[in-house]
C-alpha cells in the first residue's frame, strides 16, 4: 500500500567536506519542498548543493559557488524530486558552520 508522509531532515554543521544531506530510500520517492541553510559561525560562506542520481558518480548541481552571508539564511523553495538511492550533498568552499533543514514528502511506491 502506497503512503505519503511529510517529514524533515536536519544536518548540524555542514562543513568543507562532502556532506550527505539526504539519501532517498529504496522503494521511495522524495519530493523536496524546502531547503534552508543557516550560517552560524559569523563568516561569509560559499556552498555547493548537488544530487548524485542513483548513488552514481554524475553530480548534478543545484547550486555551484552560491554565496551565503555571515549569520544569514538561504532558502531553496523550488520542488525537487529524488528517486530511490539518489543522494543530496552539500559542501562549503572553506571551513565553516552551516546548519541545514530539509522538508520533504516521502512517498512509498
Superfamily for the 4-108 domain: Nucleoplasmin core domain (2.60.120.340)
> Where do the H-state alpha helices sit in 1-109?
none
pLDDT in tens, 15-28: 999 999 999 999 99
- In the three-class reduction of DSSP (H, G, I as helix; E, B as strand; rest coil), residue 53 is classed as helix
Other beta carbons within 10 angstroms of residue 9's beta carbon come to 16
**Percent of the chain whose predicted confidence (pLDDT) is above 90:** 92
Extents of the domains making up the chain: 4-108
Q: pTM of the full predicted structure? A: 0.93
Amino acid at each position: 500500500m502506497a503512503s505519503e508522509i511529510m517529514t524533515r531532515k536536519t544536518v548540524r554543521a555542514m562543513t568543507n567536506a562532502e556532506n550527505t544531506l539526504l539519501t532517498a530510500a529504496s522503494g521511495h520517492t522524495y519530493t523536496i519542498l524546502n531547503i534552508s541553510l543557516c550560517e552560524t559561525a559569523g563568516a561569509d560562506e560559499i556552498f555547493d548543493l548537488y544530487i548524485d542520481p542513483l548513488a552514481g558518480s554524475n553530480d548534478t548541481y543545484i547550486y555551484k559557488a552560491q554565496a551565503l552571508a555571515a549569520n544569514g539564511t538561504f532558502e531553496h523553495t523550488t520542488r525537487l524530486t529524488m528517486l530511490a538511492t539518489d543522494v543530496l550533498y552539500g559542501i562549503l568552499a572553506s571551513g565553516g558552520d552551516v546548519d541545514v533543514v530539509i522538508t520533504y514528502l516521502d512517498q512509498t511506491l
